[in-house]
Structure 1
């Protein structure tokens, strides 16, 4: 294990709910749950007062109200969450250039090169916590450890408003009693498969046969064994140097299940426009188009096609995904739709040679310029007039800049 590194993981506490409580003092100290604006919504985040009653992310509002009748439901203000998140990440950059945004409310910092300037890691952590509290009225939990895996583990140990440090010399003893489910990267499915092998603690995992782990988990087996030993050599990757984005996508859970093809086509056009807008903004095109469908019973599948030429015009993306839809025999009402382009290439700024192609490209550029200046859907397709925009959800892949920065409502 690389003991010379000092990694900090920051996790904002009940971020969405805390932002709402800070904005409205009447909500402070009360059980609050943030929900979406659609008819079919779930709990996005619950305040710690609500969590004490068992309310958690992913619950339906009916389930949450049954557990906590006095629960206050608040429609999320995603623009405000992304605004505050960006400001927090900018502030973190004052302590080290090595800041990796993990999600809208989490980040890793490599403090190894910053200690001589700012002092001990715990001093930096307390300064970060104080600045976030003073500027935004919010709390966070921080973990400090020799690597990202352990720093994430540490930040979960004391919530809310915690600060936990795992020195290198304490790693072995900590792993002896830590349940495998506490490690980032081991979800419920992997946990069950490991328990089938008799593995329930990190100590069990770290001492288990590599050969058997590889037989059951393939190449991931060796990585799992290292995780059980608290080993993680992965670097903190600043957002500006993240691995190149492989696709541009957008999906939406529908307010009600759809069976009518015309209604399905409207949502596909809307999603195609959202994907096309982001692709054009960052001057990229995709040769492969993917359509994702989730049925009412949560069965999910995708269909894709690789085209002769890359595309990023919304109409072209729409025609490609509707062609994929036409190949399917739908057997159930649709709950979710998703559109993506991948196999990305750089988009030339040169106008197409043929007049019709040039006209369509110029039209897209004109629409983009108006929408950039006056707001999304200021100009849109006629069939989408009055249609609610799908930009309700902040995806886990969201980042504060670049092509992953989806402009949410």
Structure 2
């Protein structure tokens, strides 16, 4: 029988900040996206104990605990710890899947005998984390015979605990769990099941599949029946096996609504630079360009729009991407203020199979872009950048918490 571990870092962002700054140790800490942001995106173990959690506003958090430390997020710092976490876990099995910035799966079926069994591996990983990363960095571990149940097991003894789901205790654990506790079953589907009188995995298992098909369709009926029995036949996706990205993107939420055209323009230009850089790092170029905008109308009503354009040529430079993005924005004739901006580039292709430009001007741009990338990788992001970015506040890249850009992060 396979042995799968799901390792989930405890209160990860806040724990990393506590490790980096001893003055925060033992204190309630709330991580906010940045200075001026009003929503807590992660909370420390101490904050969670008093009712402060992800999604709590900073105003509410201060009402609950006036002394809470609100710390702007630093995703580069968190990702550096993630990479050390991955390196530690990879010592115990090469069959490893990075699931998000603070969790991974490890298949130890073939390696557990070398480390005094599964319990030996769990103990060694925890010891390695404490010794090499820090005493405030802990992880909870779920053990089972497939990914689904291993992930369901990991939060049961949080923080810093271990829990195993076996064929013997599987139903007991499943029937206690909420439907949305299982990865892949979201709140929308949960709401649909509730409307059918299905409130837990026991009632989901008992309902005839024909009745289930009427409510959710044949595909989901079959999948939900498998979930209700704790069945999962998926394999781990190793870092080297991550499929190539089909698109690259970057989004940004402004600190306040704005109608200032220069700010909107500068922000979009900045986002285009990052999206194009990601494509170049993966040695890819694209020919579909998209833009998403959200904001408010004069009456306070929220609104949004998204458009895209496909061109005949491939592009991988921020300036070329921005030219199309700005064209899309102008065509929107945006009616109100802007709060959210997102750009993306799709229909990516490997640059190795693309025809090189014969035009001297394009070749010059290619060499200049290559030189800028080399300097920025050597001395830090935005060491060198297009002068047009001086018109707005610099927006540095950040790691997505769900590591949605794994194809880019692990490209090299």
TM-score by length of 1: 0.92
Q: Deviations over 1:109-145 (max 9, x none)?
A: 1111112322321221122112112222211110001
Q: Does 1:293 align with 2:290?
A: no
Q: Does 1:388 align with 2:355?
A: no
Residue 154 of structure 1 deviates from its aligned partner by 0.5
Return structure 1 stretches of 4+ with deviation > 6 angstroms. Answer: none
Q: Does 1:198 align with 2:194?
A: no
Q: Distance in 2 between matches of 1:286 and 1:216?
A: 40
> How many equivalent pairs are there?
403
Long gaps (5+) in structure 1: none
Residue range with higher mean Cα deviation, 35-44 or 138-147: 35-44
Could you say which residue in structure 1 is the equivalent of 2:161? 162
Residue 301 of structure 1 deviates from its aligned partner by 4.0
Query: What aligned pairs does 1:1-400 form with structure 2 within 5 A after superposition?
Result: 4-136=1-133, 137=135, 138-218=137-217, 219-296=219-296, 299-348=303-352, 351-385=356-390, 387-391=392-396, 393-398=398-403
Residue 339 of structure 1 deviates from its aligned partner by 0.9
| C-alpha spacing 1:283/1:142, structure 2 compared with 1 (3 Å) | same
Residue 162 of structure 1 deviates from its aligned partner by 0.9
Residue 215 of structure 1 deviates from its aligned partner by 3.8
8 Å contact from structure 1 (residues 398, 405) kept in 2: no
Residue 346 of structure 1 deviates from its aligned partner by 0.8
* Secondary structure, aligned partner of 1:142: strand
Residue 181 of structure 1 deviates from its aligned partner by 2.4
Long gaps (5+) in structure 2: none
Q: Deviations over 1:227-257 (max 9, x none)?
A: 1111111111111111222111111111221
8 Å contact from structure 1 (residues 86, 400) kept in 2: no
Q: Distance in 1 between matches of 2:80 and 2:312?
A: 40
* Secondary structure, aligned partner of 1:327: helix
* Secondary structure, aligned partner of 1:379: coil
8 Å contact from structure 2 (residues 262, 391) kept in 1: no
Residue 38 of structure 1 deviates from its aligned partner by 3.8
Residue 332 of structure 1 deviates from its aligned partner by 2.9
Q: Distance in 2 between matches of 1:404 and 1:222?
A: 34
TM-score by length of 2: 0.91
Residue 362 of structure 1 deviates from its aligned partner by 2.4
Residue 392 of structure 1 deviates from its aligned partner by 6.1
Residue 155 of structure 1 deviates from its aligned partner by 0.4
| C-alpha spacing 1:184/1:301, structure 2 compared with 1 (3 Å) | farther
Residue range with higher mean Cα deviation, 217-226 or 337-346: 217-226
Q: Distance in 2 between matches of 1:16 and 1:52?
A: 16
| C-alpha spacing 1:41/1:395, structure 2 compared with 1 (3 Å) | farther
Q: Distance in 1 between matches of 2:144 and 2:304?
A: 38
8 Å contact from structure 1 (residues 286, 312) kept in 2: yes
* Secondary structure, aligned partner of 1:59: coil
Residue 385 of structure 1 deviates from its aligned partner by 1.5
* Secondary structure, aligned partner of 1:168: coil
Residue 262 of structure 1 deviates from its aligned partner by 2.3
Q: Deviations over 1:338-397 (max 9, x none)?
A: 111111101148741122222322222222222222222222222212633323643134
* Secondary structure, aligned partner of 1:403: helix
- Backbone CA RMSD of aligned residues: 2.1
Q: Distance in 1 between matches of 2:401 and 2:216?
A: 25
Q: Distance in 1 between matches of 2:314 and 2:355?
A: 14
